[in-house]
Amino acid sequence: MQFGEIINAKLSKEIDRPMMKKDAFPVSDGLRSYLQKHDRDIELPISYRDLLNYRYANALKDKKGKITHWETAIYDLKEMAFLKEALIKTYAILKTEGDLSFSNHLDIERIDFCEFGNSVPFRIRVRNKINDNYDHYYVKAADASRIYGLELEHMLSPNRITFLYHKNTLVEEHIPGIPGDIFLKDYLELPETNKIRLAKEFVKFNERCFARLLGDMRSYNFVVDITPDVEDYQYRIRAIDFDQQSYEGKKNLYLPQFYKENFEFVEIVLKSLSEEVITQYQTEEHTTMTYRVVASRRRLMALLNIMTKDEISENYKVKILREELNAHFGTSVYTRCKTMGEIVKRQLKEMLQKHLKQVNKTFKTTK
């Protein structure tokens, strides 16, 4: 697929949009067993329901005084005392495998929530009382779609993800970086921004999302991580929202290059990179993903085999997506797919099979 084949929605005036709100899908027995086996399902001191007992909320402003999508939850004193203890223990489980020896110098400075998100997440701000440093983590309502998205990110992307699940609750670490929409507004035109390297990373991010069918990657649903290099900067784009893992029916909604919110990123790619170079970077990402598949083959297959049996989207969307992917790849193999999990499994095979054969061939000749 050529990068320019799918016109960005800002130019095409495309009206198809992802679902702004979707129903959460329950965690099946098969997925729960998988999470237990891989130490993701651990009894937690806090539940999502515990955080819903706030008295009122105040709008949260950013450093520039602008109102954000977040609100700060206010609890009564007795409730807050319970929450602080439970949230500090949860942070210890997430970060230090439950070692509470550091908990005396930790404090819960703020509990924020966002009704804008599908999971209505709570963001917990943890402060170190010794040096005033702070960290964040999130408590969310459990959703099978999101859990599949987190696991696939952990195995198929360059990033490792720490999260915990128990019953109706999902606890996630904070993913650091500059939100994509803020990067476009405040960082893109800085003289030190290397647009060629940024373009390269957006091409690779686009391929990762399409290969594992992660949808709704509009600029505010991913972050840009900037790392100083020897003489310049390197960039990595990281997804932070996994609610739309293989949920939508439209193929274009799994391609970040399509969204009008990402128009500036697409424009940089088309201005900075030739078709040959774009194809090179796409191939590089496919090859790297193939090595990740090989490295986590058993775990990935176990997850996909469970995913193929789970209901994580509506049936009509499954039918739409398999027909659009058939047309895109000029094949009919997706017709046999009955669930979104089967489509994801087929999609990975369609995009990575050629590279997987080459990797296996390389391994055989080096033995």
The pLDDT of 1-7, averaged and rounded, is: 73
DSSP 272-324: H--HHHHHHHHHHHHHHHHHHHHHTHHHHHHHHHHHTTS--S-HHHHHHHHHH
Residues 217 and 134 in one domain: no
Alpha helices in the chain (DSSP H): 9-12, 29-37, 77-96, 144-156, 180-186, 195-212, 263-272, 275-295, 297-307, 315-329, 340-366
Mean pLDDT value across residues 175-196: 96
Question: Cβ distance 173 to 137 under 8 Å?
Answer: yes
- Give the Cα separation of 331 and 335 in Å (integer): 9
Indicate if the pLDDT at residue 4 is higher than 90.
no
Cβ atoms of residues 333 and 346 within 8 Å: yes
- 143 and 181 part of one domain: no
End position of a domain, from candidates 149, 173, 197: 173
Model confidence over 273-319: pLDDT tens digits? 999 999 999 999 999 999 999 999 999 999 999 999 999 999 999 99
Q: Residue 277: inside a domain, yes or no? A: yes
Q: Which pLDDT score is estimated for 360?
A: 65
Distance in angstroms between the alpha carbons of the first and the last residue of the chain: 34
User: If you compute the radius of gyration of the chain from its CA atoms, what whole number of angstroms results?
Assistant: 21
Residue 177 to residue 156: CA distance in whole angstroms: 19
Distances (CA, A) of 222 to 181, 205, 229, 278: 9, 10, 22, 21
Q: How many domains does the chain have?
A: 2
125 and 203: one domain?
Answer: no
Q: What's 25's DSSP letter?
A: P
Is the pLDDT assigned to residue 2 strictly greater than 80?
no
- Clarify whether residues 200 and 325 are in a common domain: yes
**Looking at the structure, do residues 62 and 142 belong to the same domain, yes or no?**
yes
- The answer to whether the CB of 251 falls within 8 A of the CB of 324 is yes
Q: Answer with the one of 135, 152, 173 that is the final residue of a domain.
A: 173
State which amino acid sits at residue 353: Q
Per residue in 101-160, pLDDT (tens digit) is 888 899 999 999 998 767 789 999 999 999 999 999 999 999 999 999 999 999 999 999
Last residue within a domain, chosen from 127, 158, 173: 173
Q: Is the dihedral of CA 133, 139, 145, 148 positive or negative?
A: positive
| pLDDT, mean over the chain | 92
Contact 171, 90 (CB under 8 A): yes
- Clarify whether residues 61 and 152 are in a common domain: yes
- Residue 68, SS3? strand
For residue 40, the enclosing domain spans 29-173
